[in-house]
């Protein structure tokens, strides 16, 4: 019989300085079908985001290509003003051309410009 005990920390530290809850939320699926356009029920998508934060999630992963931009807009609408400990990680660089379309060759864009656009409220 094996009496091994496994202990899992409830948080993790990124880069030695940013501590977040181990359970994060991936916001790719709060958009419409094919990760394109708004969801069928925007209010429900916002409630999901609010509930995730209420349950202790303080790390949300998104990207400007989710929607495009829909995921980030819903996050802002649902959660702004943001809790002090909330971390929103976004990515940029893919040019979406339609539902379920993810071009292989990403386009070059100024990261500062795209991320500023994505995170503006």
Mean pLDDT of 6-13: 84
CA angle (76, 98, 77) in 5-degree steps: 10
Both tokens of residue 103? Answer: 């071009």
Which pLDDT score is estimated for 103?
A: 78
For 44, the 3-state DSSP assignment is helix
- Which phi and psi angles does 12 have, rounded to 5°? -140, 155
Spatial distance between the Cα atoms of 4 and 10, rounded to a whole number of angstroms: 19
- Which phi and psi angles does 50 have, rounded to 5°? -60, -45
Both tokens of residue 82? Answer: 């943001």
Both tokens of residue 4? Answer: 């091994």
Look at 93 and 27; give whichever has higher pLDDT. 27
Cα-Cα end-to-end distance for the chain: 56
Catalytic residues: 66
What count of other Cβ atoms lies within 10 Å of the Cβ of residue 24?
16
- Please give the domain boundaries of the chain with CATH numbers for all domains: 20-119 (3.20.20.100)
Least confident of 25-34, 36-45, 58-67, 88-97: 88-97
- Global pTM reads 0.81
Whether residue 113 has pLDDT greater than 70: no
């Amino acid at each position: 019989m094996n009496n091994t005990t496994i202990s899992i920390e409830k948080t993790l530290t990124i880069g030695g300085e940013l501590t977040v809850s181990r359970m994060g939320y991936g916001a790719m699926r709060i958009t419409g079908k094919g990760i394109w356009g708004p969801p069928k029920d925007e209010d429900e998508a916002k409630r999901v985001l609010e509930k995730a934060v209420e349950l202790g999630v303080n790390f949300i992963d998104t990207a400007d290509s989710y929607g495009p931009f829909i995921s980030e807009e819903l996050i802002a609408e649902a959660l702004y003003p943001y809790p002090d400990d909330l971390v929103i990680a976004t990515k940029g660089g893919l040019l979406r051309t339609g539902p379920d379309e993810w071009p292989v060759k990403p386009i070059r864009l100024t990261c500062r410009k795209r991320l500023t656009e994505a995170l503006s409220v």
